[in-house]
Amino acid sequence: MHDTQSNVLITTQAELERRLTLTDDELAFDYQTTHILPMRIPSYFLDLIDANDPHDPIRRQVVPTSAELVYDALEDLDPLAEVSHSVTDRLIHRYKSRVAFLTTDICPIHCRHCFRRRFTGTFQGPATDEETEKAASYVAEHPEVKEILFTGGDVFTLSDAHLRRMIAAFRSKRSDLIIRLCSRMPASYPMRITSSLIAMLGEFPTAPFYLMTQFNHPRELTTQAIEAVRLFVDAGIPAMNQTVLLRGVNDEADVLETLCNQLVFNRIKPYYLFQGDLVSGTSHFRVPLKKGLALEQELRRRLSGLAMPLYAIDLPEGGGKVPLNQGYLAEQSGCGVWTFRTAEGEVRSYPDPEN
């Protein structure tokens, strides 16, 4: 991983035990396994954990437990059918107007809820120049593609020079291509985000970049994390956040309300609140839909439209994203009048135009 200053990566049980007293469930995880997402925690992120709280929400996201060894029959390592929608080795075309490019399988942090654990941490490394060129050629031949997600893995584990070559490969063929930079780095190791990185992105002044972050808990919005995002926003790159709804981490209205308001205050738009995907070994993170819908309803009462994320689910078998809400349209009368339920539960009517 490209580094700018000392950062210890905790990858073994022995290293973890020097910093935390592990619970029975944490000790029962098979740290030697080769077929389950290996542990990877930056020391920066580990320091956010309250070591005296075995249920700490930061800890729960990164310290593996034996629950990951339990597979639900409906789970899959590729629940979104990305493999079947892959058009090159690294390019996924699941939606008509946008594609996802797997820049690398390397991440600064291995979140235990990772939906792409079939790929993340599999030691394939960054996309080669040949793989990048092949993907860029595909996009050049498909003008219906308007946006590309640089994802993985984490795009900012690449060096500035490698990322420059990657961007140039796509922009040389499609100067109009919007690039989403999808990264957990501002939350997991914000020191990677430097003025030189931002200056490099400024060398490509055609179609815009968007920074897509993942902050799941208010305590991740540290001074360093906020500064990392500020560098992007001050350079004209909007920041949008995608939170994953996680049991025992952020499945309380007070936590989500605080997170969303703090994001907006720091110029990060709460974009999505995702229902957990059906990824093998992650059932202990998934929040029941009934509770998720109740949280969405409560947040809609508490938050402004600017601070309100879209609660959504990415349907299995490549079904795509659909919004989740209780629904506010109650019924339509026979005389062109629609009846709605307000966020507070009251009833209002809206007459349709005659034509």
Reported as a single tens digit per residue, the pLDDT across 149-175 is: 999 999 999 999 999 999 999 999 999
**What's the pLDDT score for residue 183?**
98
Number of neighbours of residue 332 by Cβ within 10 angstroms: 12
Confirm whether 3 is domain-assigned. no
Is pLDDT at 4 greater than 80 in this prediction?
A: no
Tokens of 140: 């050049």
95 flagged as catalytic: yes
How many Å apart are CA 98 and CA 91, to the nearest integer? 11
173 flagged as catalytic: no
The CATH code of the domain that includes 124 is: 3.20.20.70
Residues 6 or more apart whose CB falls under 8 angstroms from that of 23 comprise 54, 65
Tokens of 294: 């109740």
Is pLDDT at 5 greater than 60 in this prediction?
A: no
335 flagged as catalytic: no
107 flagged as catalytic: yes
Domain membership of residue 276 as a residue range: 9-323
Confidence band for 216, pLDDT divided at 50, 70 and 90: very high
Tokens of 14: 């022995």
Measured CA distances, 123 to 34, 165, 234 (Å): 11, 21, 35
DSSP structure class, residue 77: S
Tokens of 144: 């219906």
How many Å apart are CA 185 and CA 193, to the nearest integer? 8
pTM, to two decimals: 0.94
111 flagged as catalytic: yes
| One domain for residues 227 and 346 | no
Q: Nearest to residue 213, comparing CAs of 183, 243, 257, 233?
A: 183
What number is the average pLDDT over the span 116-140?
Answer: 94
Q: How many domains, in total, are found in the chain? A: 2
Confirm whether 1 is domain-assigned. no
The gap between the terminal CA atoms of the chain, to the nearest Å, is: 61
Q: Is the peptide bond before 236 cis (omega within 30 degrees of 0)?
A: no
> Which is the catalytic residue, given 59, 90, 94, 180?
94
Confirm whether 79 is domain-assigned. yes
Residues 6 or more apart whose CB falls under 8 angstroms from that of 98 comprise 145, 146, 147, 148, 149
What's the Rg (C-alpha) of the chain?
21
Is pLDDT at 355 greater than 70 in this prediction?
A: no
How many Å apart are CA 130 and CA 289, to the nearest integer? 43
What number is the average pLDDT over the span 120-124?
Answer: 88
| One domain for residues 117 and 245 | yes
| One domain for residues 169 and 311 | yes
Bridge-based pairing of strands 310-315 and 268-274 is parallel
What number is the average pLDDT over the span 226-235?
Answer: 98
Confidence band for 30, pLDDT divided at 50, 70 and 90: confident
314 flagged as catalytic: yes
Confirm whether 227 is domain-assigned. yes
What number is the average pLDDT over the span 217-235?
Answer: 98
| One domain for residues 184 and 236 | yes
What number is the average pLDDT over the span 79-106?
Answer: 96
What number is the average pLDDT over the span 31-48?
Answer: 89
Reported as a single tens digit per residue, the pLDDT across 298-325 is: 999 999 999 999 999 999 888 889 999 8
- The residue with tokens 């409906």 is 74
Reported as a single tens digit per residue, the pLDDT across 177-197 is: 999 999 999 999 999 999 999
| CA 310 centroid distance within chain | 14
**What's the pLDDT score for residue 332?**
72
Confidence band for 340, pLDDT divided at 50, 70 and 90: confident
The 3-state DSSP class for residue 256 equals helix
> Which is the catalytic residue, given 90, 116, 117, 180?
116
| One domain for residues 200 and 283 | yes
Residues 6 or more apart whose CB falls under 8 angstroms from that of 162 comprise 126
* Lowest-confidence region among 1-15, 253-267, 282-296: 1-15
| One domain for residues 178 and 300 | yes
Mean residue pLDDT across the chain: 94
Confidence band for 329, pLDDT divided at 50, 70 and 90: confident
45 near 188, Cβ under 8 Å? yes
321 flagged as catalytic: yes
> Which is the catalytic residue, given 56, 105, 251, 277?
277
Tokens of 61: 């996201």
What number is the average pLDDT over the span 240-252?
Answer: 98
How many Å apart are CA 232 and CA 238, to the nearest integer? 7
How many Å apart are CA 131 and CA 157, to the nearest integer? 18
**What's the pLDDT score for residue 1?**
45
**What's the pLDDT score for residue 104?**
97
